[in-house]
Amino acid sequence: MAMVMTSSQRWRVWALHAVLIAFVVLSLLPLLMIVSISLRPGNFAGGSLIPKAISFEHWRLALGLPVVDAQGQVTPPPFPVLQWIFNSLKVALVSAAACLALSVTSAYAFARMRFRGRDGTLTAMLLLQMFPSVLALVAIYAIFDRLGDWVPWLGLNSHWSLALAYTGAVAQHIWLVKGYFESIPPDLEEAAAVDGASRWQSFVLVLLPLAKPVLAVVFVLAFLGAMIEYPVASVLLHDEQQLTLAVGSRLFLFNQRYLWGDFAATALLAGLPLTLMFLLMQRWLVAGLTAGGVKS
């Protein structure tokens, strides 16, 4: 649009810049403060945004190293943060792999096959994912409590139970993968079928390689979803050593024991990689939601 900017329009651009900058500051300020708090000595609030003295004590504690102060007093790390990160990673990787494995074959059938009950099942999956697991927390707790009586490693306080509970998220992933499969023309698979490939072969050898991007996306989305999940993990896990990061990081901020600086360092340590991943996945977080909206 080659338009001449009128003075009123120029004024509006500046006003908009001002509003946007104000909001950006509002959005970023809490995050910047965390950086500053994590580098400030002590666990007390106060002090400027740019810390006067830089101290890495909170970072050392977050990494599991003890801190020795000037009087020679040793502060041990308050919580096993690295263990929590490891737990979270373990649960998230297992559940992401399970989600991926469980969703691809279903998505393939929904995208490529016509069978009785197909539409009904698809709609049911769509509606079911509106029921969040927080509504069934007691049931999830009771189920795993009893399951633990028969199969000890699938009881309460087990990472396997948690990873398994997270695979309920497949409903939304099936829709995402199905959409991607449908965007791939079936010609190649048909050609493979003409050459004598079985259904399974044309799925695994022809379609799946073409769909690698969406497989990666589903894996990362399921991984992130499991990394940040709080309610189910808080119900299933109890021992301090077994907690995931999302549950454990809650323990830093109690009025009686207010470890503001230690929390900030932990938050940054764990939060930065996750935040970067979310930023990269930005397009996919809402993918498919708006598809078929205005265009059609």
Partner 1 sequence: MRALALGLHALNLAAVAGLLFLCQQLLRAHDALAAMAVLGVAGLLVLLQFSKRLQAWRYVMPGVSAVLVFIVLPMAFTLGIAFTNYSSAHLLSFERATDALLQRTDSEGLGMDVSLLREGEGAAARYQARLRDDDGKDWLSARFTLPAPGAPATGTTVMLGALEDGQPLPGEPLPPRALVELLPQLRTLVLRTPDDRPWRLSSLHRITDQAQRYALIDADRLRDLRDGSIVTADHAVGVWRDASGQALEPGFRTTVGFANYARIFGDSSFFEPFVRVFVWTVSFASLNTLLTFALGLFFAVALSWPALKGRGAYRVALFLPYAVPAFISIPVFRGLFNENLGEINLVLDLLFGVRPGWFSDATLARAMVLTVNTWLGYPYMMILAMGLLKAIPEDLYEASALAGAGPVTNLLRITLPLIARPMAPLLVASFAANFNNLTLIALLTEGAPDYLDTQVPVGATDLLASYTYRIAFNDGGQNYALACAISSIVFVIVALLAYVNLRCFGGAKATRR
CA 114 to chain centre: 33
Report yes or no: 38 and 268 within 8 Å, Cβ to Cβ.
yes
Quote the least distance from Cβ 83 to partner 1, whole Å: 16
Q: Is the separation of the CB atoms in 44 and 260 below 8 Å? A: yes
How is 90-121 classified by DSSP, letter by letter? HHHHHHHHHHHHHHHHHHHHHHH---TTHHHH
Q: Does 152 bind partner 1 (CB under 8 A)?
A: no
Minimum CB–partner distance for residue 63 and partner 1 (Å): 17
Q: How far is the CB of 68 from partner 1 (least distance, A)?
A: 25
Question: Between 1 and 50, whose beta carbon lies closer to partner 1?
Answer: 1
CB of 67 to partner 1, least distance (A): 20
Burial of 137 (0-12, 13-18, 19+ CB in 10 A): middle
Contacts with partner 1 in 191-250 (CB under 8 A)? 198-201, 204-205, 227-228, 230-231, 234-235, 245-246, 249-250
- The verdict on 139 binding partner 1 (CB under 8 A) reads yes
The answer to the question of residue 123 lying near partner 1 (CB under 8 A) is yes
35 binds partner 1 (CB under 8 A): no
Among 67, 82, 102, 188, binds partner 1 (CB under 8 A): 102
Report which secondary-structure segment, H or E, holds 191: helix 187-194
Question: Does 32 engage in binding with partner 1 (CB under 8 A)?
Answer: no
Binding of residue 13 to partner 1 (CB under 8 A) = yes
Q: Is 17 in the site for partner 1 (CB under 8 A)?
A: yes
**Segment interacting with partner 1, rule: CB under 8 A, options 51-59, 67-75, 103-111, 182-190:** 103-111
* Least distance to partner 1, CB of residue 274, Å: 5
Cα separations in angstroms, 171 against 6, 103, 219, 279? 52, 8, 14, 23
Q: Which of 201, 275, 251, 227 is nearest to 85 (CA)?
A: 227
| Contacts of partner 1 in 51-90 (CB under 8 A) | none
Q: Which of 4, 50, 70, 294 binds partner 1 (CB under 8 A)?
A: 294
Q: How far apart are CA 247 and CA 268, in angstroms?
A: 16
| β-pairing verdict for 67-68 and 74-75 | antiparallel
